């Protein structure tokens, strides 16, 4: 048994996430966590809400709520949606937790003591009307590149051009709309990550099995242009982890908080501390996952994220941990994803274009979405959600292949032998061939899952489902029953056991359907089929079962057209 620490990129607090966000981190992380548990390994699967930074304050102001109240409410919303999609987190924490405050401030002190934090003076936009410095995202104006009138001070959402606040035409405060803006000097703390470039580069070079997408992005940030740059780790904001605190080795940072991209990754560690506290466990119980000198030396740590998050997880967060001089566990493998686009364009939170997690669960149960998203995961390139592809795959894979097999086998058995596994007959050459084929297919499925090759794993799982259908069609128990009932009984006995095997193997992808299959078979046996022949005899003759409800219904063309029109834009 191995020990697997698994983290998903933590979703931002400002609203419900769309399906592109889901498949880019949380959902594939859940697939891997479920698989590792099913194989008998010890797993700690952590995620949280990312609650600090400018967007949280703006979203709270728009909602007319204090930011702390808004974040608490949205954490509940996101936790409920995660549960709805059956994301099996061991703990779903909050970056605003007391544990994260303590740990972030602790690591900042250690970095300062190591000579890796220095104070710098910089020029920043100040709003006289608001009485505060404005972070880049708090400044709006007209883009000098495309003329978009609601460009932000860091980037134009319309043309994607990177901007500085001083580039904007007719700039104004995003808080109050005030135009009386000045450029003033302010002090901030900087993490001198450029001094760690060689150590980071050497560490990345050691990761020979990382995806090309991950390493190429990291090396681009390390070496392109002037190379890895030092990074400001404080901001002039009210909401966040205070940068001036008791025991801080600096002064004059009142009214400033740590930058969200400094404290958010630290929440991965703090989340483990939150988990331990929630379980009534001691600090040693979470430290054995995160401190190599306290038991984490044998942990394999895997992170899941979209490609836009890669620089922070391959450079900034490791710089924090390495620079602290403490024995923190570094990531072993980063599974990064490209983007999922939507029906000929892009998902857009601001325009309400695309399918969001709450709307998805309103339309169909989680398994429909889980299967499609994972089987089309944007691993090697961007992929695209279309309603036609969704309808086709659900109807073919889930309804026609898996659902049809379960329905035909259980209904035929009930009609000819009753609702119990039939006795009689023996396996022949066709059954031995099926066992061999299933064993080989299972090995391919396991290899894909071990490698976190998600699309390939989905293909191998579907191929296992197809084997059962092909066997059933060839063995034709409905024809055999007329002349040789014992032969039909042997075929159906194997097929009923194969349903249990399918339930076990499919659970990481479609947990609700897997549970329904096992429930119908009247078994809690979820043992992974190490020996396929033995697994196909787990349910003995006389074992009672029930015919389950339809596992997956087909999506009609009328539904598909209505959903396509509904989610073309204008949400909320």
Separation of alpha carbons 459 and 504, rounded Å: 16
**pLDDT value at position 1?**
81
Q: What is the pLDDT of residues 363-398, one digit of tens each?
A: 999 999 999 999 999 999 999 999 999 999 999 999
Average pLDDT for 28-48: 98
Report the predicted TM-score, pTM, of the whole model to 2 decimal places: 0.94
**pLDDT value at position 570?**
61
Report yes or no: 464 and 441 within 8 Å, Cβ to Cβ.
yes
Report which of 555, 533, 545 is spatially closest to residue 406, judged by C-alpha positions.
Answer: 545
Average pLDDT for 158-173: 84
Average pLDDT for 305-311: 91
pLDDT classification of 203: cutoffs 50, 70, 90: very high
Q: What is the pLDDT of residues 94-125, one digit of tens each?
A: 999 999 999 999 999 999 999 999 999 988 89
Q: How far is residue 298 from each of residues 282, 327, 396, 483, 509, measured CA to CA in Å?
A: 20, 13, 42, 59, 27
**pLDDT value at position 350?**
66
**Rounded (10°) CA dihedral 517, 520, 524, 525:** -60
Q: How far is residue 527 from each of residues 35, 37, 501, measured CA to CA in Å?
A: 12, 11, 9
**pLDDT value at position 131?**
86
pLDDT over threshold 70, residue 243: yes
**pLDDT value at position 571?**
57
**pLDDT value at position 66?**
96
Percent of the chain's residues with pLDDT above 70: 99
pLDDT over threshold 90, residue 433: yes
Separation of alpha carbons 513 and 250, rounded Å: 56
Q: What is the pLDDT of residues 226-240, one digit of tens each?
A: 889 999 999 988 899
pLDDT classification of 568: cutoffs 50, 70, 90: confident
pLDDT classification of 163: cutoffs 50, 70, 90: confident
| Residues in Cβ contact with 3 at an 8 Å cutoff, skipping those fewer than 6 apart | 41, 42, 43, 44, 289, 298, 299, 300
The token duo for 264 is: 């958010």
Query: Average model confidence (pLDDT) for the chain?
Result: 94
Q: Other C-beta atoms within 10 Å of 459: how many?
A: 14
Structural Rg of the chain based on CA atoms: 27
**pLDDT value at position 351?**
73
**pLDDT value at position 136?**
82
pLDDT classification of 135: cutoffs 50, 70, 90: confident
Average pLDDT for 485-489: 97
Report yes or no: 157 and 120 within 8 Å, Cβ to Cβ.
no
According to DSSP H, which parts of 64-182 are helical? Answer: 67-84, 98-113
Half-sphere exposure of 441 (CA within 13 A, CB side): 21
Handedness of CA 568, 58, 306, 90 (dihedral sign): negative
Report yes or no: 23 and 373 within 8 Å, Cβ to Cβ.
yes
pLDDT over threshold 90, residue 133: no
pLDDT classification of 176: cutoffs 50, 70, 90: confident
Q: What is the pLDDT of residues 244-253, one digit of tens each?
A: 999 999 999 9
Of the listed ranges 25-29, 342-346, 423-427, 500-504, the least confidently predicted one is 342-346
Could you tell me which residue, 258 or 163, shows the higher pLDDT?
258
Q: What is the DSSP string of 347-392?
A: -BTTTTBS-BHHHHHHHS-HHHHHHHHHHT--SSS-EEE-HHHHHH
pLDDT classification of 329: cutoffs 50, 70, 90: very high
List the end-to-end C-alpha distance of the chain, in Å, as a whole number. Answer: 48
């Amino acid at each position: 048994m191995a020990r697997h620490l698994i983290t998903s990129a933590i979703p931002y607090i400002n609203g419900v996430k769309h399906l592109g966000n889901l498949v880019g981190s949380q959902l594939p992380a859940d697939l891997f966590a479920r698989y590792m548990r099913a194989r008998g390994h010890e797993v700690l699967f952590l995620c949280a809400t990312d609650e600090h930074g400018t967007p949280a304050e703006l979203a709270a102001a728009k909602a007319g709520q204090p930011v702390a109240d808004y974040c608490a409410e949205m954490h509940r919303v996101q936790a409920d949606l995660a549960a709805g999609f059956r994301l099996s987190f061991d703990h779903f924490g909050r970056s605003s937790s007391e544990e994260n405050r303590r740990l972030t401030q602790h690591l900042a002190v250690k970095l300062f003591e190591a000579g890796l934090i220095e104070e710098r003076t910089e020029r920043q936009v100040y709003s006289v009307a608001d009485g505060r410095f404005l972070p880049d995202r708090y400044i709006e104006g007209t883009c000098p590149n495309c003329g978009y009138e609601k460009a932000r001070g860091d980037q134009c959402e319309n043309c994607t051009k990177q901007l500085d606040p001083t580039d904007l035409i007719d700039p104004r405060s995003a808080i109050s709309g005030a135009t009386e803006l000045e450029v003033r000097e302010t002090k901030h703390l900087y993490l001198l990550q450029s001094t760690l470039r060689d150590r980071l580069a050497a560490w990345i070079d050691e990761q020979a099995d990382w995806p090309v997408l991950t390493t190429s992005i990291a090396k681009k940030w390390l070496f392109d242009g002037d190379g890895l740059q030092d990074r400001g780790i404080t901001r002039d904001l009210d909401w966040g982890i205070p940068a001036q605190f008791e025991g801080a080795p600096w002064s004059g940072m009142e009214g400033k908080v740590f930058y969200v991209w400094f404290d958010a990754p630290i929440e991965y560690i703090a989340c483990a501390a939150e988990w331990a506290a929630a379980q009534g466990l001691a600090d040693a119980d979470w430290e054995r996952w995160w401190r190599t000198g306290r038991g984490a030396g044998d942990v394999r740590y895997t992170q899941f994220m979209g490609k836009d998050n890669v620089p922070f997880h391959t450079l900034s967060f490791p710089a924090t941990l390495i620079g602290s001089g403490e024995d923190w566990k570094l990531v072993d493998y980063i599974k990064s994803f490209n983007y999922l686009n939507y029906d000929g364009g892009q998902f857009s939170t601001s325009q309400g274009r695309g399918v969001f997690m709450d709307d998805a669960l309103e339309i169909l149960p989680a398994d429909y979405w889980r299967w499609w998203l994972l089987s089309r995961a944007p691993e090697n390139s961007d992929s695209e959600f279309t309603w036609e592809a969704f309808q086709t795959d659900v109807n073919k894979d889930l309804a026609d292949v898996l659902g049809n097999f379960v329905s035909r086998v259980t209904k035929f058995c009930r009609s000819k032998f009753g609702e119990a596994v039939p006795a009689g007959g023996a396996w022949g050459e066709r059954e031995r061939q099926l066992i061999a084929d299933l064993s080989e297919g299972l090995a391919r499925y396991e290899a894909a899952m071990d490698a976190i090759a998600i699309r390939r794993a989905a293909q191998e799982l579907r191929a296992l489902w197809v084997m059962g259908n092909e066997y059933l069609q060839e063995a034709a128990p409905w024809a055999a029953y007329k002349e040789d009932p014992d032969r039909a009984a042997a075929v159906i006995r194997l097929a009923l056991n194969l349903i249990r095997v399918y339930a076990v193997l499919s659970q990481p992808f479609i947990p609700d359907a897997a549970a329904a299959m096992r429930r119908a078979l009247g078994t809690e046996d979820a043992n992974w089929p190490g020996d396929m022949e033995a697994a196909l005899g787990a349910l003995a003759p006389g074992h009672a079962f029930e015919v389950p409800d339809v596992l997956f219904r087909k999506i009609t063309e009328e539904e598909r057209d209505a959903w396509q029109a509904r989610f073309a834009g204008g949400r909320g």
